[in-house]
């Protein structure tokens, strides 16, 4: 079970990383706000892979502990957790040498949802573990 979830997490992390990199480039060109000192290629990849692997661990735990309705409770928990993380980039105080600090949440907040969106997107490939 964990091997399947781990593979699911790695693939979701790769997809979320690709989406994050593309989004950061589009955001840079659209707003001319460079936050590469804070959000760079390696941080985008690291955060997305870490979050997706954490999601895989959580999914395995939910399925193991809650035989019935595990998918429903897990999906709800993941959605609530993703929304609650919005507080972090909104409350961060950036260094004074960063230009356009008011645009920082516009870059980071959508990226918070990329791991969960990637997980939900490829979930049908890995099957629903709530069967049975």
Neighbours of 90 (CB within 10 A): 11
pLDDT at 96: 84
pLDDT at 102: 92
Supply 87's token pair: 């507080």
The backbone torsions φ and ψ at residue 124, rounded to the nearest 5 degrees and listed phi first, read: -60, -25
Averages of pLDDT over runs of 10 residues in the chain (132 residues) are 92 98 96 92 97 96 91 96 95 88 94 97 79 45
pTM exceeds 0.75, yes or no: yes
Q: Is 85 helix (H, G, I), strand (E, B) or coil?
A: coil
pLDDT at 128: 58
Taking the domains of the chain in order of start, what are their residue ranges?
2-123
CA-to-CA distance for 126 and 110, rounded, in angstroms?
A: 25
Q: Is 120 helix (H, G, I), strand (E, B) or coil?
A: helix
Supply 50's token pair: 């870490």
pLDDT at 132: 40
pLDDT at 67: 81
Q: What share of the chain is helix, strand, coil (3-state, %, to 5)?
A: 75, 0, 25
Supply 100's token pair: 């356009």
Between CA 43 and CA 16, with CA 126 as vertex, the angle to 5 degrees is 20
């Amino acid at each position: 079970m964990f091997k399947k979830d781990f593979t699911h997490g790695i693939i979701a992390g790769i997809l979320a990383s690709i989406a994050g990199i593309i989004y950061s480039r589009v955001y840079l060109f659209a707003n001319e706000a460079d936050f590469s000192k804070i959000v760079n290629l390696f941080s985008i990849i690291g955060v997305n892979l870490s979050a997706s692997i954490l999601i895989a661990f959580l999914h395995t735990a939910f399925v193991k502990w809650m035989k019935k309705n595990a998918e429903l409770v897990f999906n709800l928990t993941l959605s609530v957790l993703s929304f609650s993380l919005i507080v972090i980039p909104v409350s961060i105080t950036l260094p004074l040498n960063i230009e356009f600090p008011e645009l920082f949440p516009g870059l980071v907040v959508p990226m918070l949802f990329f791991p969960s969106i990637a997980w939900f997107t490829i979930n049908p490939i890995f099957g629903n573990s709530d069967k049975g």
